[in-house]
Structure 1
Amino acid sequence: MDKVGETTLVLDLSAMGHNYRYLRSKIAPNTKFLGVVKAFAYGSDMVAIAKKLETLGADYLAVAYVSEGGLLRNAGIKTPILVLHPLASNFEEMIDCCLEPSLYSQNILTQFLDAARAKKQVAYPVHIKFNTGLNRLGFREHDIGFIAEQFKAHDEVKVISVFSHLAASEDPNERMFSLGQIDTFKKCSSALAQKLGYAPLRHMLNTSGIINYASEAQFEMVRSGIGLYGYGNDALIDPNLRPVATLKTIISQIHEIGDGETVGYNRTFTSGSTTKTATLPIGHADGIGRQYGRGKASVLINGKEAPLIGNVCMDMIMVDVTGVDCKEGDEVLVFGPQRSAENFASGAGTISYEILTAISQRVKRVVIDR
């Protein structure tokens, strides 16, 4: 990989291929696979990732909002796309782009029926979301009669899948709760299929669910987001995955700070002795939030840790390079295979999802596929 000359997010699609195959190995060959590419494909490059997943053979893709799905369709993506959180104001665009909505409430279902009727659709594919304990979006068991009545009365739409979402699939202490969710979902999906007169696809497992509950609940399809990008929510699983994204930057300037001098806004770092600092061209406008400052996180420079000091600025951070053999222009690793985003995030009390999805679109993306 060439050295970077500016802040750059390098995306290794071969790593995604490895992760896809690893996750596939945990399920039956005939189980369908949905790849989640919402939020710019977890802060990376939505189009490049979606095209790679198409090549790998993913059966479905999922986005959060219609605008994301429209972007993929405009880029030539043909794979079916599930929109996880559709809004009624976007239903016309959704149908025009052949995107498939998650219908999660009586209100959103009836509004989509109206939109499908207005667009003269027949058997338009939709997905029914059940709330089994996450308490975020979804129908309840008592809604099954209403759902079935609507689909029997209207041929504009057809249920392609029924799904739910585990709340704590990565936590072994919550196993009984997860099994309870699975049981509830089985009851709901079975009851709805009986009333509809046909059996839609079922899917419930996310990345951690694939790892921990494949024998109990892989059903006809599984979904993976974070696992595809190289993180398994488990220190024992992470070595089997390869981070797709590597965030690098360079040293812009090196300073020698005397005893008692301060660094950055609000003078939040005071040197207790002669200190060597490096200024890097990356800041909270690039996704490195203020929570990472004041020593809560560090970067790697020539293989050595360099903690962030002072407050994170909009376009810059300062790091302590005392004792680090480095010079201006040297490469700096924020996260990647050698030092994971989970590791970077943990010092600030957060998770890989947050730092990955926070990386600004102004950061240069470089896509490789070896």
Structure 2
Amino acid sequence: METDNTSLVIKTIGAEYTLRPGTIDTESKEVVALHGNSNVKGIYYKFTIKRLQKSAKSLPEGAEAASQINSVSVEAVGTSFTYSQIKDEIHNKLYNKESGLVQEKLSKLLSRDNKKSKYTNIDEEILELIGEIEEDLSVFIKNRIDSTSGSYSIVVGTRAIKDFDKPMMTKLTFTDKAGLKAPGVWYEGEGKWKKLSSNTVYIANSALFNTVKTGEYAMLVFAAAPSDVTDEYSYSGDIKILMSKYDLRDVFGNLESFYPEDNVKVKEAILLYEKVANKEGTSHGLTISQKAEKYGLKSLVGVGGVTRDITRQEIALIIMKVYCEKTGVNIQSLVPKRYVYISDEKDVDGNLLKPVLLVLDLEVMTVGERYAFEPKKPVTRAELVESFVKILEITKEI
């Protein structure tokens, strides 16, 4: 794999695993220990996958599995046979003129009775026989390189490998259930399951994410139904959409209640931008003010700091930053496609006028009576969510 700079994809029912060059460290202490045994002539890697209905460890509070729980383990296996010896045995198992699998299946094909055959044409039978060869050969290889096969085994020793030197890409398919969906992992040696909230790509009912250790992986779904957001509430649809895609507990608290009519604080708006723009992994340990500076939102941290109510014109800036982040466009190159009239334009801060005009042009935010934008007015949580959902629909994120 390293020589050809290519990856190995292992496909199973409901899951795929992509081993990149360097995912398995062939110079790790576990492998070196096997090399130190004079009886070891070759080293192989045993990748074991199990599909479980239930994990031995409790899932995170409020979560249930939306996929099968996939258990992955890796072992370095030291054998008393060289690669050439094992290759010769496999070749003999396939092509021995008297007892080889190919000869066996060919004889079966040549002795077929067309009248009694369940197949409508010979091609179908050939495909089934090829499948039988693959299955029989797999069983042979497993038994030949298996430490549980007694005296027949050529295994000298094994070493468990728990850490990947480079992340393994994991793809899981899941059942579409209502709520926030996120990959969960329980790595070997760690005490509990944890949710992976960043760097996950969703394609239909599949999720792709990186794993750095062996263990158990599953798609988790968390309930997203605050008690104060009923189906009759006008913003309930947008709130549920955003909560099903992003973990808003990191922004607004535990969300047993959403408090949709509460005004949004500067801190909350910055954290929501961070989450939607997928920047959480780059800002660990930073204060809100430091994050604002890093994201180009330093202007929001002024009088009143990060605990004051954020204004409509400031939300316009954040929304356009999300748009630029998702599309790769520089805001300086954007211009409204139509004339946008604001009766209280004089009240908009000069450095925020362009974002305000752009959000109105995109119809992500609107003017009120007499075409007033009310730039200094606070924004409620429900209004904020509505605008974010609209911009994410435009950028095809939801």
**TM-score of the aligned structures, taking structure 1 as reference length:** 0.22
Higher RCO structure, 1 or 2 (CA under 8 Å, sep 6+): 1
Please say which structure displays the higher CA radius of gyration.
2
